[in-house]
Amino acid sequence: MDLNFNKNEDHNKLLLSDLRQKFSKIKLGGGEKRIQKLHSEGKMTARERIDYLLDAKAESIEIGALVAEGMYKEHGGCPSGGVVVKLGYIKGKQCIVVANDATVKAGAWFPITAKKNLRAQEIAMENKIPIIYLVDSAGVYLPLQDEIFPDKEHFGRIFRNNAIMSSMGITQISAIMGSCVAGGAYLPIMSDEAIIVDKTASIFLAGSYLVKAAIGEAIDNETLGGATTHCEISGVTDYKAKDDKDALDKIKNIVDKIGDYEKAGFNRIKAQKPALDEKEIYGILPKSRAEQYDMMEIISRMVDNSEFEAYKDGYGQTIITGYARIDGWAVGIVANQRKVIKTKKGEMQFGGVIYSDSADKATRFIANCNQKKIPLVFLQDVTGFMVGSKSEQGGIIKDGAKMVNAVSNSVVPKFTVIVGNSYGAGNYAMCGKAYDPRLIFAWPSAELAVMGGTQAAKVLAQIEASSLKAKGETVDEAKEAELFAKIKARYDEQTSPYYAASRLWTDAIIDPLETRKWISMGIEAANHAPIEKAFNLGVIQV
């Protein structure tokens, strides 16, 4: 291995180390003291509940672990959005589990908490897989109620989704394992079945203090909405559990009886590891996002037996398209090629840029995958579409629009991996979050923005300098350099993969070596939902 390989490897492993450190801190939720308090009450933490519920030796992935990272500082933070979401297996059946973290503001709902819960429900609805709610929440975080209560994608949408999923036949099971108050009380009761833990859990529209204030009735919370009340008097809940583990065991027993599902029929054979060493990805992926590299070197270390059947290999070479297998599943891969390409015409094309011919190739390939019922995997390292008079006269807008059209109308499941750059319209054409990938996740090397930090900072610094000059202020080279540095620092923070993950623009930041697992579990989930409509590009300019 050369020196550059070693430098890249060191850099990428340091990024991975930073990720692991952040996750170690996030796993503590509201902190050790609050965890101890929960244990003293005879309760398990959200993560302990999920770990006990999911099959011990089976794979699982966590959705939105880094949500709210760096957000809500004036409110003391909200680690992981105060809710833990995992896709895993219960008695061998793939399910998504949502657990309120009572160590974080007593499980209160911040705006990002609602967004994360809606994302979990979206995954359940798209893939028609069971969803399990482990409820332990004080309800809406009142200081931010205006950002969570009334809008379409706010708190109320969760109950609407409960109703929609019920009509779709998607299994929903709730365990009330702590506080469940006000509007939040509807979530477990709109589930198919509800379990409540005796003595430590309660559910009511208004607690004892509010009841006293509203109607003058003096009553304690246990009598008002405890397990005995709702299992033996109101009939609101279906099962009484003696403690957390008993409630979780009841969920396991219920899930164990669920019948088989209709398959979408995606092709899978026995999985094979890549023939080339996966760990070499760390050394291949450059330290600098501007540096060129061969994306095929990454793909060869990601797919089964390192086998890849290239489609239109010699045409539109700044996008790689072709068929492969990942963990046995047949996939169609659309990837940005990051090395400079010399065309047959003798022209040079920049790596990571989408040209007319590469957009045309990708459109045709996406259509082929839809016809053959092959899931699509997008590997993003894109700076955008090619600009300039030659590209404009060549119809780059038209060809780019065709590609966006194909991605938008694709009916096979799509999965997006942000390897490096994800800039501008390139993010859209390569199936960014707005284009409904079943899962979208980033490597620690990822950057998401409308354009690169250096370019954006130069433009913004020029605008600000012009503004200052217009006000009669002197702007010399030193001042321009200061403006540029200040703006670039701010912009770079916003391009960070953590900035994106904290806002749930991506589902996770992962170790590149976990990519195969994420895609495999994603396709397995998608296989629960047969494709119900035909691929149709609609009106498109040829």
State the DSSP string of 381-445. Answer: EE-EE--SHHHHHTTHHHHHHHHHHHHHH--S-EEEEEEEEEEHHHHHHTT-GGG--SEEEE-TT
User: How far, in Å, CA of 497 to CA of 420, rounded?
Assistant: 10
Cβ within 8 Å of residue 324, ≥6 positions away: 299, 303, 304, 307, 308, 309, 330, 331, 333
Q: Where are the chain's structural domains?
A: 1-28+263-446+506-537, 31-256, 451-495
pLDDT tens digits, one per residue of 64-91: 999 999 999 999 999 999 999 999 999 9
CATH topology for 1-28+263-446+506-537? Answer: 2-enoyl-CoA Hydratase; Chain A, domain 1 (3.90.226)
- The secondary structure element, H or E, covering residue 85 is strand 83-90
User: How far, in Å, CA of 409 to CA of 406, rounded?
Assistant: 5
Specify the DSSP class assigned to residue 234: S
For the chain (542 residues), the mean pLDDT of every run of 10, in chain order, is 90 98 96 96 97 97 97 95 98 98 93 96 98 92 86 90 96 94 81 96 85 87 90 94 98 97 97 98 95 97 98 96 98 96 81 93 97 98 88 85 95 98 94 97 93 70 77 77 79 89 97 98 98 85 58
pTM above threshold 0.75: yes
Cα angle value 150/117/17 (rounded, 5°): 130
Residue 441's nearest CA partner among 399, 380, 393, 360 is 380
Q: What token pair was written down for 243?
A: 């403690």
User: How far, in Å, CA of 339 to CA of 133, rounded?
Assistant: 46
Cβ atoms 538, 104 nearer than 8 A: no
pLDDT tens digits, one per residue of 424-464: 899 999 999 999 999 999 999 999 987 666 776 677 777 87
CATH superfamily assigned to domain 31-256: 2-enoyl-CoA Hydratase; Chain A, domain 1 (3.90.226.10)
Q: Identify the residue whose tokens are 């959705």.
A: 63
C-alpha gyration radius of the chain: 25
Cβ atoms 172, 162 nearer than 8 A: yes
Strands (E), 293-350: 309-310, 319-326, 329-336, 341-342, 348-349
